[in-house]
Amino acid sequence: MSRTTIGLFIASPERAATWLAALRKFLPECVVDTADRFERADEVEFAVVWGEADLGKFRQLRAVLSLGAGVDHLLRNATISPGIPIVRMVEAGLADGMREYVLLNVLRHHRDMQTLAGNQARCRWAPFSVPPAKDRTVGIMGLGALGADAGQTLVQFGFRVVGWSRRPKTLSGMRVFIEGDRQAFLQQTEILVCLLPLTAETSDILDKTLFASLPKGAAVINAARGEHVVDADLLSALETGHLSGATLDAFRTEPLPPDHPFWRHPKITVTPHCASLTHPEGGARRIARCIEQMRAGETPVGLVDRRAGY
């Protein structure tokens, strides 16, 4: 019986080497290598992908497994046949990283660290108070695994947390608004966290209309996709003072070009798409489990609904 073959698609040689070692550890019975090492079109059964990948020549693909929670780039990939399953990464380390990132930046906006940093730069001693967490409303857009977990963490820290979801959900300590109640959700949200999947419906969702619906002085955190944000609208809302600040982890063009105004804007914090990264050890263990499930004819955890777009 032939051995299962797994092709790894990662542009960075350093990251590829780390992932190869982890995958081979958890899949010792499989042939695992970078995709360029497979010459024949029938050689790769499972593609493990981070970023862009040309999968057109691999005619025997059984599934494409993402190394990240987001799969919008794979859904747009014309070289992946409609009949091939796509599996997102569902791994505890991703939730841990996002939980930390969201909590860190919600606290930064809550305690107005931006003003404190500016005062320090000017050697200005100017104490001020902020409301207690219980009087601050944080809104989470997108209540998938990462969003729900981040929301529950904020509840534990005492914040008043509301969520916005396509479907009704019950989450302890949170009021959840569904799609048609977006206005009511936004009007009370003082710190908005976007963790939505990128679909046709959510592209450009963080625009002037949405910003205008937030209370004056609200802050925005986008740890999802750059295409969610209309850049010019965000800059305008910051310049008028309607928004007090923004933390951005994803951008329409990555790396963010050096001349982009986000870099030097005093009210914007830029992070290089690092809110939550998959750790090779945990990620390889999860991929091994998914492949085991598919080889047994089972539905893998993280299977994407391609019709819904996530």
In the numeric block, the tokens 């969201």 are attached to 102
Residue 192: the pLDDT is: 99
pLDDT confidence band for 309 (50 / 70 / 90): confident
Report the sign of the C-alpha dihedral through residues 102, 15, 225, 257, in that order.
Answer: positive
Phi-psi region for residue 69, left (φ > 0), alpha (ψ -120 to 50) or beta? Answer: alpha
Q: Taking each helix axis from N to C terminus, what angle separates 280-295 and 92-110, rounded to the nearest 10 degrees?
A: 140
Burial of 90 (0-12, 13-18, 19+ CB in 10 A): buried
Domains 5-91+278-295 and 92-270 share a fold: yes
Please give the sequence-ordered ranges of beta strands (E in DSSP) within the chain, or none if there are none: 5-9, 31-34, 46-49, 63-66, 86-87, 137-141, 160-165, 174-178, 191-194, 218-222, 243-248, 268-270
Residue 242: the pLDDT is: 98
Comparing C-alpha atoms, which of 213, 253, 249 is closest to residue 233? 213
Determine phi and psi for 170, rounding to 5 degrees: -115, 115
- Which residues lie across from 162 on neighbouring strands? 139, 175
Question: What pLDDT, in 10s, does the model give residues 13-61?
Answer: 999 999 999 999 999 999 999 988 987 777 899 999 998 899 998 989 9
Concerning whether 122 is annotated as a catalytic residue, the answer is no
Question: CB atoms < 10 A from the CB of 189, how many?
Answer: 25
Residue 265 pLDDT > 70: yes
Separation CA 214–CA 189 (nearest Å):
6
Residue 307: the pLDDT is: 81
| Ordered alpha helix ranges (H), 6-161 | 13-26, 72-75, 92-110, 113-121, 145-156
Amino acid at 60: Q
Residue 308: the pLDDT is: 80
The CATH homologous superfamily for domain 92-270 is NAD(P)-binding Rossmann-like Domain (3.40.50.720)
Residue 1 pLDDT > 70: no
In the chain, where the domains are located: 5-91+278-295, 92-270
Question: CB atoms < 10 A from the CB of 21, how many?
Answer: 13
Residue 211 pLDDT > 60: yes
Mean pLDDT of 278-283: 94
% of the chain beyond a pLDDT of 90: 91
What's the longest Cα–Cα distance across the chain? 74
Question: What pLDDT, in 10s, does the model give residues 193-207?
Answer: 999 999 999 999 999
Determine phi and psi for 52, rounding to 5 degrees: -80, 150
Separation CA 219–CA 237 (nearest Å):
10
Amino acid at 163: G
Mean pLDDT of 280-295: 96
Mean pLDDT of 141-166: 97
pTM of the model as a whole: 0.93
Question: What pLDDT, in 10s, does the model give residues 59-112?
Answer: 899 999 999 999 999 999 999 999 999 999 999 899 999 999 999 999 999 999
Phi-psi region for residue 204, left (φ > 0), alpha (ψ -120 to 50) or beta? Answer: left
Question: CB atoms < 10 A from the CB of 301, how many?
Answer: 14
Concerning whether 295 is annotated as a catalytic residue, the answer is no
Comparing C-alpha atoms, which of 141, 92, 62, 76 is closest to residue 303? 62
Decide yes or no: CATH 3.40.50.150 for domain 5-91+278-295: no
Mean pLDDT of 237-251: 98
DSSP characters for 197-212? ---TTTTT-BSHHHHH
Residue 146: the pLDDT is: 95
User: Which residue out of 99, 109, 160, 273 is catalytically annotated?
Assistant: 273
Work out the mean pLDDT of the chain and round it to a whole number. 95
Question: What pLDDT, in 10s, does the model give residues 247-259?
Answer: 999 999 999 999 9
User: Which residue out of 99, 108, 136, 225 is catalytically annotated?
Assistant: 225
Between 42 and 232, name the one with better pLDDT: 232
Comparing C-alpha atoms, which of 25, 24, 72 is closest to residue 197? 72
